[in-house]
Amino acid sequence: MKKYRPYFMIIFILLLFSSCGQEKPGKGETLIIGNYFSSDSKLYLTRVYAANIETIDSVDLASDTAFTITLDSPDYALFRLENNDLYPLIVVAKNGDTVKIEQTNDKAWPYHIQGNTECMLVANFLEKLNREEYKVDSLSAIFHNSQSLPDFPAIRERLNEEFIIIHNAFKEYAKSTVTMYPSSLAAIVIINGFFREFLLFDQRKDFNYYEIVDKALMERMPENKYAKDFHIQVENIKASIEYEEKAKQRLSAGRLVPEFELYAINGEKTGPQNYKGRLLLIYFWAASDAKSRQTNPVIKKTYDNYHQQGLELLTISFDTDQKIWRAAIELDSLPGLHIDDMDGVRSPLQKLFNLKMQLPAYFLIDTKGRIVHHDRDFRELPQKVVDLIHSTLQF
């Protein structure tokens, strides 16, 4: 049987269980009753929080496949029971709850579960997820078995279309479930979930769902640790979105290029303010970045073609090893004036130009020090330079 892939991101990558007890939970305990016939004799229980995973217990199925687990969880918490032969099972429970689990022979979803409403919401989501992924596994099998066939390109296209249909339908199901039960911990599980390697909810495009769930959880269970952690997550996403919007405005066409001063390869301090009155191409790259190295010939050709028409080049790398940086400049015959910002990902320039180490990138600056265009796609760079030169001549 296939093993479970890590479907759940960041804060709530959830989990379950421990051992020994009775059929009915005491006032201060949570009861898990299970019956497995897995060939793997070990069952592991963990509880997952936003910042840490807490190992609780393990169960030995070699002596008895039926087990009872007692836990102390005053408030709703997320647990995961993991066995090498089965998909990990996520359970939501608190003191006073009884959750019953029975292993089945269903390959797509090998569990029958009974529990509280929160628990069943999560279980229903996971069952739907795994059944849809089971369909995708079938498509993958067809893909691999068809590669030698003459009509493989057509088969591949059809399989891709079927995968997209399955993925989109499941995403709509996830959105519908979150909208229907926004105050449940299941909503947190779903909203941070993946379908294969694809996030179900985009933090920017689907931010309204994050806000809906956050508001509902804060109203229903403001003291719950998972609700609090999700609230922090939402606040961080919101701050990031607001920062992105401000950066987009600050770096939009017509705005003055941010000023800075750093030591160049010639030992002198320089920055974009030193190029006022001239056309400037600022190129952000790294010698250790393969895509940057592939782009360097484009930069060289652009500079060689348009330097006589007034284009200057300032390259800024984020290499922490200056030997590699200098060697790359020489090997690639990279022209212009060079700066190596050895702060790398921690560089203030990363924030100033909203780069986030997504390299390479460029900014085109006019003679008045204004941003004309910036991009990470270099295919239209030569034409953008030509347009800038012509507009400058006409002006």
> Which CATH number describes the domain made up of 262-394?
3.40.30.10
CA-closest candidate to residue 332, choices 303, 354, 308, 305: 303
Task: Give the integer Cα–Cα distance in Å for 149 and 146.
Answer: 5
Q: Tokens at residue 134, please? A: 């089971």
**Cβ within 8 Å of residue 73, ≥6 positions away:** 30, 93, 94, 95
Residue range 305-352, pLDDT digits in tens: 999 999 999 999 999 999 999 999 999 999 999 999 999 888 999 999
Q: Would you call 328 helix, strand, or coil by DSSP?
A: helix
Residue spans of the domains in the chain: they are 1-250, 262-394
pTM for this predicted structure = 0.75
> Sheet containing 337-340: which strands, arranged edge to edge?
337-340, 311-317, 279-285, 361-365, 371-375
Task: Give the integer Cα–Cα distance in Å for 354 and 236.
Answer: 17
Average per-residue pLDDT for the chain? 89
Note the pLDDT of residue 26. 59
Note the pLDDT of residue 1. 39
Give every residue of the chain whose pLDDT is below 50, as ranges.
1-22, 395
Note the pLDDT of residue 56. 87
Note the pLDDT of residue 25. 61
Note the pLDDT of residue 21. 35
Note the pLDDT of residue 4. 40
